[in-house]
């Protein structure tokens, strides 16, 4: 069921999009209304959730570090893995965001015959994740050729690099193959490992399948069942200039692709995909490990009523004096 | 003194206090600016946003294309690729269209015969959607000044053999190499 639900959801989305493309009159809904709605939900949803996160206090100083803390001058500290200053934190965050350093440090526990418990480095998750994310980035940036007029130079340059091998016509983009391979790996990885399958939810499979179906419809449109790309750009430019325009016969497949993207955008703020802004707000990564240098006070510490010794002495002075006890004040 | 009331369910403070406001707002502004960049980029340019106008062949030159326009609009590059393969690998010269007409599989002669001005035909859409052609990296581009067209004439001489064995330079090159091997 956990696996069936995402599959069914994807199927329904595609069927709805194909229906929308087939019924005359609905193309305005699928080509203009849904994209604008999805963009709005994506943008406002992310802003809303980040502002909500920003309201949650981080009372405890909780960086999780993997290096020697800065202490005495003659003990070598780890400036990136256990940063004590802002530049160190920036470096650590950059390595986390750009290189997925936490995943690179991933280890796996395995029971070998013996029985023997073995811990080993496991880089496959890191590899799949970084291949997917960078392919996704390149593909999104490549799409700017359809969103922007005139096309920025860097987009054309990126296309040239991505299409470096010049295989076939239209030329194959390396990232198209890489993203499908990476997504399939990330998907099968959850199915293959029984422990991972046990902790996987429908909300883990759904984004993978959704992005995979976006990639597949895109690949189909470029290499196999080509659509009129000039009309596609016309529609996109219409959206991005607030002059919505539905060109004639763009192709059914295009509407499936577009609707899947709309679903992804609208789903984004409510899903695990919020790790995109979330990584910037991870207290275990973005705090400096400086608790030996700076005092961190819980912002909501309750004002505790204390009874100081002075007050105590004032209260019992007479009886203390009678008992012959020493007093601070006579 | 401290008057916060903590909502343990949502993990937020009820008075809505925000932490690190400067950093959060900066980050959100950068994100929103990047995400909406196609909007303000296009609006600030505000020209040449319409579908490009391609110049179609007119009266005296007009004849049936080797495939219908619906196919050519989306799939012309596939046909060119197939032609290239047929000529270079299989040594074929002619393509028979669905209407039964024969076309010589030569871009510069057949295609440019009807669409001689590449800048008003090919480049219109290619530039609009950012297609980087690498045809002219190796081949001489026709209609690009006197020198270019002269070289093109040498490479693609107009008169052809009676048996239709007009050959592309690449094909000739291959023939020569075969002879050498013999």
Which pLDDT band, with edges at 50, 70 and 90, does B16 fall under? low
Residue A148 DSSP label? -
Domain A4-323 has CATH 1.10.132.20: no
Contact A56 B77 (CB under 8 A): no
Please count the other Cβ atoms lying within 10 Å of the Cβ belonging to residue A93: 17
Express each pLDDT in A205-232 by its tens digit.
999 999 999 999 999 999 999 999 999 9
Q: Where are the domains of chain A?
A: 4-323
pLDDT at residue B77 is higher than 50: yes
Chain B residue nearest residue A239, CA to CA: B39
Q: Quick one: pLDDT at residue A42? A: 98
Closest Cα in chain B, distance from residue A113 (Å): 46
Using a CB-CB cut-off of 8 Å, the residues of chain B touching A54 are 18-21, 24
Where b means 16+ CB within 10 Å and e means fewer, B92-131 reads: ebebeeeeeeebbbbbbebbbebbeebeebbebbeebbbb
Q: Does the CB of A67 have a partner CB in chain B at under 8 Å?
A: no
| Beta-carbon contacts below 8 Å between A and B | 111
Mean of the per-residue pLDDT values of chain A = 92
Q: How confident is the model at residue B114 (pLDDT cuts 50, 70, 90)?
A: confident
Residue A274 in tokens: 């919020």
8 Å CB contact of B45 and A55:
no
**Residue A306 confidence (pLDDT) above 60:** yes
Q: What is the mean predicted confidence (pLDDT) over A165-170?
A: 86
CA–CA dist B144, B114 (Å, integer): 17
- Residue B12's contacts (CB-CB under 8 Å, 6 or more residues apart) are A52, A55, A56
Mean pLDDT of A75-79: 93
In chain A, residues with a C-beta closer than 8 Å to the C-beta of B24 are 50-51, 54
What are B123-170's pLDDT values in tens digits?
889 999 999 888 888 887 775 443 444 444 444 544 444 444 444 444
Q: What is the pLDDT of residue B138?
A: 83
Lowest mean pLDDT among A15-24, A66-75, B24-33: A15-24
Whether the CB of A245 is below 8 Å from some CB of chain B: the reply is no
Question: Residue A300: which pLDDT band, with cuts at 50, 70 and 90?
Answer: confident
- How far CA A89 is from CA of A105, A187, B180, in Å, comes to 18, 32, 67
Tell me what ipTM this predicted complex has.
0.86
**Contacts of range B59-63, beta carbons closer than 8 Å, 24 or more positions apart:** B61/B113, B61/B114, B62/B114, B63/B114
Least confident of A140-144, A162-166, B117-121: B117-121
Helix A124-142 to helix A202-219 angle (10° resolution) is 50
Which residues in chain B are closer than 8 Å to A150, comparing Cβ atoms?
Answer: 45, 48
pLDDT category of residue B179 using cuts at 50, 70 and 90: very low
DSSP β-bridge partners for residue B6: B13
* Of the listed ranges A11-25, A57-71, A267-281, A289-303, the one predicted with least confidence: A289-303
The two three-digit tokens of residue A70, written as one number: 């800065």
Q: Among A112-126, A176-190, B106-120, B139-153, which stretch is predicted with the lowest mean pLDDT? A: B139-153
- ∠ CA B57-A221-B103, nearest 5°, is 35
- Section A3-16 average pLDDT: 94
* pLDDT at position B62: 58
């Amino acid at each position: 069921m956990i696996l069936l639900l995402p599959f069914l959801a994807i199927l329904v989305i595609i069927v709805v999009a194909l229906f929308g493309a087939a019924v005359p009159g609905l193309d305005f809904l699928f080509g203009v209304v849904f994209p604008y709605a999805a963009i709005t939900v994506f943008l406002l949803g992310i802003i809303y959730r980040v502002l909500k996160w920003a309201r949650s206090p981080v009372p405890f100083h909780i960086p999780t570090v993997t290096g020697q803390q800065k202490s005495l001058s003659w003990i070598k500290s780890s400036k990136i893995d256990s940063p004590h200053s802002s530049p160190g934190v920036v470096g650590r965050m950059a390595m986390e965001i750009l290189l997925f350093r936490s995943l690179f440090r991933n280890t796996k526990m395995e029971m070998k015959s013996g029985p023997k418990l073995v811990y080993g480095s496991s880089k496959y998750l890191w590899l799949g994740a970084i291949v997917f994310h960078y392919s996704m980035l390149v593909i999104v940036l490549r799409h700017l050729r359809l969103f922007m007029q005139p096309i920025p130079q860097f987009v054309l340059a990126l296309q040239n690099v991505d299409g470096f091998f010049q295989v076939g016509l239209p030329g194959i983009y390396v990232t198209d193959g890489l993203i499908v391979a990476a997504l399939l790996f990330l998907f099968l990885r959850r199915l293959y490992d029984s422990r991972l399958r046990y902790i996987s939810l429908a909300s883990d499979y759904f984004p993978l399948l959704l992005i995979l179906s976006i990639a597949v419809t895109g690949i189909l449109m470029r290499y196999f069942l080509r659509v009129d790309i000039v009309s596609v750009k016309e529609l996109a430019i219409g959206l991005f200039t607030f002059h919505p325009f539905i060109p004639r016969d763009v192709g059914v497949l295009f509407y499936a692709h577009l609707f899947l993207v709309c679903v992804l955008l609208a789903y984004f703020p409510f899903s695990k995909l919020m790790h995109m802004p979330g990584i910037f707000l991870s207290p275990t990564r973005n705090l400096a490990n400086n608790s030996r240098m700076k005092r961190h006070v819980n912002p909501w510490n309750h004002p505790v009523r204390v009874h100081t010794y002075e007050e105590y002495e004032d209260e019992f002075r007479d009886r203390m004096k009678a008992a012959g006890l020493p007093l601070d004040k006579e | 003194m401290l008057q916060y009331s903590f909502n343990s369910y949502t993990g937020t403070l009820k008075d809505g206090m925000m932490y690190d406001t400067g950093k959060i707002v900066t980050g959100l502004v950068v994100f929103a600016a990047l995400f909406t960049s196609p909007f303000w980029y296009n609006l600030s340019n505000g020209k040449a946003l319409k579908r490009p106008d391609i110049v179609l062949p007119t009266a005296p030159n007009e004849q049936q294309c080797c495939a219908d326009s619906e196919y050519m609009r989306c799939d012309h590059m596939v046909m060119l690729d197939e032609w290239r393969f047929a000529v270079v690998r299989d040594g074929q010269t002619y393509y028979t269209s669905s209407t039964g007409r024969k076309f010589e599989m030569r871009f510069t002669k057949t295609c440019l015969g009807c669409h001689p001005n590449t800048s008003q035909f090919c480049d219109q859409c290619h530039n609009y959607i950012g297609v980087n052609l690498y045809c002219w990296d190796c081949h001489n581009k026709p209609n690009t000044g006197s020198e270019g067209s002269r070289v093109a004439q040498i490479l693609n001489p107009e008169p052809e053999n009676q048996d239709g064995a007009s050959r592309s330079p690449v094909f000739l090159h291959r023939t020569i190499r075969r002879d050498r091997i013999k």
